[in-house]
Amino acid sequence: MTEVLSQDEIDQLLTAINAGEPEPEGFKPAADTRKIKIYDFKRPDKFSKEQIRTVSIMHETFARLTTTSLSAQLRSMVHVHVASVDQLTYEEFIRSIPTPTTLAIINMDPLKGNAILEIDPAVTFSIIDRLFGGTGEGTKSQHELTDIETSVMEGIIVRILGNMREAWTTVIDLRPRLGQIDTNPQFAQIVPPTEMVVLVTLETKVGDVEGMMNFCIPYLTIEPIIGKLSAQFWYSSVRRGATTENLNVLKDKLATVDVNVVAEIGKINVPVRDVLSLNVGDVVRLYNTRIGDPYSLNIGSKKKFLCRPGVIGKKMAVQVIKKIAELDQDEFEELTTEGEESL
């Protein structure tokens, strides 16, 4: 229940106010515990820290793949790693890069819109010099790319985009395609100047030449999958790596791999001097091998099947009898006995 002041108490308060008496001892104003964050409406934060972290993890994979592929193609030591991932306006990004430079407009299919891959001129000319047979020192004078140099860089960028597709696999089946290469940033207006973008800065070293690669992705382009750029989705996608669909893909890839298939008659240890003295018509006796024994059919270095020799037309062949893993000792002896009887 609210306490009502008496007339005397009211008079005393008014007298104290008029006299300017100090505040009673022990009186402390309540501390303001609110946390105030400055917010700039001209450049709103559209990416959370968790989403920025996920983008960084994805492009760390991209950096490792690019390091390997460029090192193999240039036959030189190449090192690429993620320096930073930031969000800023597109205008700030355009103003931060030199002129001329290498600007690749990337189609981010199936996402809408384009992205930009910018390569520092020092790195660009070092790559070109290396591919043309030089030492990779590049050139001190910066100039716009010639038609031949542009064609060379197109091949490099297409290879880099292949690494990007693999790095984005856990989030989306990205199919990035190279649209065109520009050298003046003012001509690369893919979004309005005030639009927010996420900028992935990659420190790149080719031999002794160091520079930057910048990958700029507008928010409008990445917005449809922004919900997937979370740690929970990322790690759940990694754990789903052993699904039936992925296993079928692996089987399809392995089905095209060539392996050596060898029918082994038997083995024997022979000194080099005996091998050098062999002549046509000489007989070499094999250990633990009898006439009529089935041969071992080796896949690579593993014994997988038992087989019998024969011919198909004018070509030698073998007939697979059974998997070695499925045979027990009795079945093996039975096959050996049948082979002896048939001969």
Reported as a single tens digit per residue, the pLDDT across 183-242 is 888 888 888 888 889 999 999 999 888 999 999 999 888 888 888 877 666 555 555 544
Reported as a single tens digit per residue, the pLDDT across 71-127 is 988 888 899 999 999 998 999 999 988 888 889 999 998 988 899 999 999 899 999
- pTM, full prediction: 0.57
- Is the pLDDT at 1 greater than 60? The verdict is no
- What is the Cα–Cα distance from 196 to 44, expressed in whole angstroms? 8
Reported as a single tens digit per residue, the pLDDT across 236-295 is 555 554 456 667 777 777 788 888 888 888 778 888 888 888 889 888 887 777 777 888
Which part of the chain is CATH 3.40.1550.10?
A: 49-239
Residue 176 preceded by cis peptide, ω within 30? no
Per-residue pLDDT, 327: 54
- What is the Cα–Cα distance from 224 to 131, expressed in whole angstroms? 39
CATH number for the 49-239 domain, one of 3.40.1550.10, 3.40.50.300, 3.20.20.70, 3.40.50.720?
3.40.1550.10
Among 27-31, 143-147, 315-319, which stretch is predicted with the lowest mean pLDDT? 27-31
- What is the Cα–Cα distance from 289 to 286, expressed in whole angstroms? 6
What is the average per-residue pLDDT within 134-146?
Answer: 76
Strand-strand pairing, 78-89 and 196-206: antiparallel
> Residue 332: which of 324, 343, 341, 340 has the closest Cα?
324
Reported as a single tens digit per residue, the pLDDT across 10-21 is 777 777 776 655
- What is the Cα–Cα distance from 113 to 115, expressed in whole angstroms? 7
